[in-house]
Structures are given as C-alpha cells and as structure tokens.
Amino acid sequence: MAKILTPDICVIGAGSGGLSVAAAAAAFGVPVVLIEKGKMGGDCLNYGCVPSKALIAAAKQAHMMRHGGKFGIGAVEPEIDFRGVNSHVRGVIDAIAPNDSVGRFSALGVHVIKAEARFKDSRTVIAGDVEIRARRFVVATGSSPLVPRIEGIDSVDYLTNESVFDLTRRPGHLIVIGGGPIGMELAQAHRRLGSRVTVLEAAKALGKDDPELTALVLRQIRAEGVDIRENAKVAKVEKRGKTGIRVHIETDGGRKAIDGTHLLVAVGRAANVAGLDLENAGIDYDAKGLKVADRLRTTNRRVYAVGDVTGSLQFTHVANYHAGIVIRALLFRLPARQKLGIVPWATFTDPELAHVGMTETEAVKAGKKIRIMRWPYAENDRAQAERRTEGHIKIVAGSRGRILGVTIVGANAAEMINMWALALSKGLGLGDVAGYVAPYPTMSEIGKRAAITYFAGAAGKPLVRRLIGLLRRLG
C-alpha cells in the first residue's frame, strides 16, 4: 500500500524555480514536498548557466593571454589542457552543488523525494511508492534540448548542452547547429580554447536581439575565426569515417557539405512534460509547455507552473521570478502577475549583449513615438583604461523621457543592464537616470551619459535661453 503524504505544497522539479518555491515555503513553516527524478539543481547547475559560464571564463583567460600586447605585456599562445578545463568546469559545479543538495533542503524542512512524478488525478501525485495529496502543486520540470528532425541525426553521436561539458578532449572541428545565445556562446568559447568552429544558422544569428548591436558581436566572433553561416538549412548529417561528422547544408549558393569532428545541436529547448500524465489532472498544454495565466495558474486551479515548462522566456532568473509570484499567491493570496516586459536577459559572448524592455522595432510596431539615445564605450574613461572600447548603449525612450527599452553591447553589459531593469520595473524616466551620481570611473557612466543626451537639445531652445536671461537680470 502506497505511503500517503498530505503537505500544503508539492513541488515537482528541483531546478532553480522549484528550489526557490520549496525553500521559501519551508522558511515560512509550510509543509512542502519536493520531487526530483534527476540531479538536484536542474539544468542551470548541471548543464546550463553554471558550466557554460565556467567554460567561457576559461576561454576568456586564454584569449587575454594572446592579447596582452596592448597593455605592454608580451602575448603568449596558451597551452590548453582541455582535461584541466573540464576539471575547472566540474569544480565550479561541485562548489555550488551543496546549495542545491538533498541534504541542505532536508535541513530546511523540505521533504525531498527522489523519484519520477506523475499525476494520478486532479489533486494527487504519485512519486515512487508515495502518494502526495497536497493543497497546491507547482510544476517546475524545466526544459530539455530540442533535437530537430534532420535526416541522419539519429545515426551520429551529437552533443547538446547536456553532454558538451563532459568533453575532456578538445574538439578538432566543432560544428554547431543553431546560432542563438547558447550556440554562439559555446562556439566562441571553443574557438578560444583552440578548436576550429563552424556555426550553421537557418535564419539570422542572434536573431532575437537588436540587429544593430548583434552585428558588433558577430563581427568580433568572426574576427576570432568562427565560421558563421547564416541562412544555412541543415538537410542531412552522416558519419564520416570512424569518428567524423559530415553535415549537408542548403544555402542560396546551393548544397554544400561540411566535415567536422564533433556536432553540437543548439537550436532551442522543449518543455519537460512527458511522463507527468497531465491529462489526468485536467492540465492543458501544447508543444511550448503548460498553458498558464499571467498569475501562473494552470487550467487546474490547484496546480501552478514556473520556469521553462510554462513556455515563457527560458532563463534561470525568470524561473526565480515566477517562484516569487507563486509563493505570494500560495502563502499570502496576493494577486501577483508576471510582467515579462521588465525581464532582462544577457548573452555572454565577448562582447556581451544585454537587453531589457522593447527593441526599437517593437516600439515602432506598437505605434510608440520614440527617440533613440546612444553612447559609445570609446567615450568612457574606464573602457579606455581597460582597452574595452568596442560597443555602445542604445536607449529607446517614449514621451517625456519614459524608458521603453535598453540594449547594451560591450564589456560588462550583463552587469550594466541591472540598473536599467530596475528603472524600467519601477517606471523611472531618463531624468531619474541623468540625475543619479555614478562613481568614477565606471562603465555604468555610459548609460548616464546616454540619458543626458535626451535633454541636450533643451540648451538651444529659445524659450530656455530667454528664461535663463530673465533669471540673470533678476540678479
């Protein structure tokens, strides 16, 4: 006979979103069960954000060694120990893993069950030999790499983000299918670590971001030797010899074949819904994920969903944002709603690319009357000191200096976007940004200088000059 648990909340999935919900509920003394069939920490810790940024950091170190000449430091070609790089990546994961471990969450008061979960009915979940009847459920099962239907894909050994970080030998020629953020980050990192790299993108590389700024990123990555082929449809893949890969592509110039040693598939992600038996619980879903309202409740009033499984923006910080909304709803009955327009994102290429709010194209399509402000890194003293002068900020502003959107390309862009995300979420205007005091010298001054340009035209207006003249005469 199955053991029956009756917690207040049952969370399915121990990735970033699920862990945040479980930890918050336990902190308030609420009985909570957390179910996870795989690794604690989910995709972010084990296969995504953490290992990719660790790999990027190693690659950046190698790149800096090659380019010390501009600082008066002799450039050297680094000796890449790829097994050592892998140990670095694993070491970073291991350092963070205790924060997401079963032991830590059990100590917090969370009942952790390591098993696969499935809905028995609208108010019951089964995990192993345990039956959970909770007041509310939260589905936080995340997503997995999407593998497209390509002729021959099942006949070759291909990598995804779930396996690429297991490599202990440097790829000779890495072919990447997909020119989105994941594909471009890993392409540049492997190139800097000594691999030959070719990226195949069916449309436009980094096509979801502002093309004015992505052009700078793509130019730099190409300059480092990555072969980026856009509008290249992958028609077929096949083995070449004992360990090689051959990829056939269709372009405007006809059909071509590219030979490599490794193949990385990075074309997107699919929501993890298989095996949950969502139909038993009356939960609607489609290919993108669970259908949720802006309060993140599913078609079953007892069940909420957070993170990638909702088909929303697929970022760790979005899963955590969702977790906060759900906790407010479950514990305090507060009518919190998601506002995706305030969510920033960043691509950790070099230069970095970060964005929040509307792009120029989106603002124009929405019928907004806009002004565009830019300021280059080259006009910033800190950027000059660090020889990181490539890039600029682009601000899309509406009437009376309202901030509609911001995109930054350049060094530390992912850090610099934080202030703009806060400003946008709190409804601040360019006057607020122009009026704050920035420490000198910092790259954040770039944003302030751009904001000031919104008001620069006022100095030449006749009315303003007449007012100044009147005030001068008054003594």
192 within 8 A of 221, measured Cβ to Cβ: no
- Strands (DSSP E) contained in 261-308 are 262-265, 269-271, 285-286, 289-290, 303-305
pLDDT given at position 459: 67
Annotated binding site for FAD: 53, 141-143, 308
Domains of the chain, start order = 3-144+270-340 (3.50.50.60), 153-268 (3.50.50.60), 351-460 (3.30.390.30)
Query: For 305-360, what is each residue's pLDDT tens digit?
Result: 999 999 999 999 999 999 999 999 999 999 999 999 999 999 999 999 999 999 99
Contacts of residue 384, Cβ cutoff 8 Å, sequence gap at least 6 = 378
Instruction: Specify whether the CB–CB gap between 394 and 416 falls below 8 A.
Output: no
Alpha-carbon gap, residue 304 to 29, rounded angstroms: 20
How is 440-458 classified by DSSP, letter by letter? SS-TTHHHHHHHHHTTGGG
Name beta bridge partners: 410.
Answer: 352
Where is the binding site for NAD(+), in residues?
A: 178-185, 201, 268
Residue ranges, the chain, pLDDT below 50:
none
Residues forming the annotated binding site?
53, 141-143, 178-185, 201, 268, 308
> Positive or negative CA dihedral for 424, 430, 436, 441?
positive
Q: Which element (helix H / strand E) includes 381?
A: helix 381-385
pLDDT at position 458, please?
A: 67
Give the Cα separation of 347 and 240 in Å (integer).
33
Instruction: Give the strand order in the sheet containing 392-397.
Output: 345-347, 352-357, 403-410, 392-397, 371-376
pLDDT at res. 470: 80
User: For residue 332, which amino acid is it?
Assistant: F
